[in-house]
Amino acid sequence: MTTTEASPDTVPEASAVTASPTDVGGRGLTGRQAKVLLRLLRVAYPHPRFPDAPYERTAKTVEDAGRTDDTLADGLDDLDARADGDFCSLDDDRATSLIAGVADTPFFALVHSTTVVALYDDHEVWDLLGYEGSSFDKGGYLHRGFDDLDWLPDPRIEEFDGPPRVELVDASGSRGADGSAS
């Protein structure tokens, strides 16, 4: 599977998550660009209770994914330019509006397709969101709360023992072009 620039939300290469970042060459980001990227991620994917560390790891992954050409670096410079020189000084609402203006660009497609995988594949993020990850190695959830929801009554698990379901209510009637009954 490959990504296409024209599509802002292609599932990224799964290797973006698993590949070693040490085997990529090419151009890295300047300190300024890295700072803008981190701010971009915090604004576009706002989780106030997340610390910086998962965003920093994600930014590194985005940087590695963007090394093949100038799309990422140029896009980050463009954010600063659109913010009269300092994207990082904008408040959240103004920064969000500015990002919306570049949301259809190959630059943001690269940032989004990488971030939506990398940020939410981060195990610290899993902990923050209450997802427990691998479970078979712990015996599954059979004795670890697969049914510990206690704010609703225990429902029936057997099939309904009353009359069988009616499967065919009305076999008549022709239909129009919109699929609705005429």
Partner 1 sequence: MRVFLDGQATTNGKRPSTQPKTATFGAQIAESDPTVVIIGSGAGGGTVAHELTRRGVPCVLLEAGPYLIGEDYENDEWAAFSQMAWLDMRTTSGTWRVARNFPNLPAWIVKAVGGTTTHWSGATPRFMQHEFAVNSVYGGIDGANLLDWPLTLEEMAPWYDQAEIAMGSTHRHGRPPLPANNNYKVFANGAERAGYRYYATGPYGTNAEPYDGRPASVQDGFNFQGDKSGAKWSTLVREIPRALDSGHCELRPNCHATRITHDASGKADGVEYLDADGNLHRQAARVVCVAGNSIESPRLLLLSASSQFPDGLANSSGQVGRNYMRHMTGSAYAQFDKPVRMYRGETMAGIIADEAKHDPSRGFAGGYYMETLSLGVPFYASFVDPGSWGRDFTGLMDGYERTAGMWIVGEDMPQESNRVTLNQDVKDAHGLPVPNVHFEDHPNDVAMREHGYAAADRIYSSVGALSVHHTPPYPSTHNLGTCRMSERPEDGVVDRWGKAHDVPNLFVSDGSVMTTGGAANPTLTIVALAMRQADHIADELKAGSL
Contacts of 177 (CB under 8 A, 6+ apart): none
Among 32, 45, 67, 74, contact with partner 1 (rule: CB under 8 A): 45
Closest CB to partner 1 among residues 17, 27:
17
Is 174 one of the binding residues for partner 1 (CB under 8 A)? yes
Is 145 one of the binding residues for partner 1 (CB under 8 A)? yes
Whole-angstrom distance, CA of residue 171 vs CA of residue 65: 56
Number of residues that bind partner 1 (CB under 8 A): 77
Among 9, 56, 69, 70, contact with partner 1 (rule: CB under 8 A): 9
Among 25, 31, 85, 130, contact with partner 1 (rule: CB under 8 A): 130
Is 171 one of the binding residues for partner 1 (CB under 8 A)? yes
Half-sphere exposure of 56 (CA within 13 A, CB side): 4
Helix axes 71-82, 52-65, angle to 10 degrees: 120
Whole-angstrom distance, CA of residue 45 vs CA of residue 94: 15
Closest CB to partner 1 among residues 84, 159:
159
CB of 27 to partner 1, least distance (A): 25
Whole-angstrom distance, CA of residue 41 vs CA of residue 62: 10
CB of 62 to partner 1, least distance (A): 13
Among 30, 55, 117, 124, contact with partner 1 (rule: CB under 8 A): 117
176 phi-psi bin (left φ>0, alpha ψ -120 to 50, beta other): beta
Is 21 one of the binding residues for partner 1 (CB under 8 A)? no
CB of 159 to partner 1, least distance (A): 4
Q: How far apart are the first and last CA of the chain?
A: 44
Is 170 one of the binding residues for partner 1 (CB under 8 A)? yes
Q: Quick one: which segment of 31-39, 59-67, 71-79, 144-152 binds partner 1 (CB under 8 A)?
A: 144-152
Whole-angstrom distance, CA of residue 75 vs CA of residue 107: 6
Is 119 one of the binding residues for partner 1 (CB under 8 A)? yes
Which residue's structure tokens are 């940020």? 119
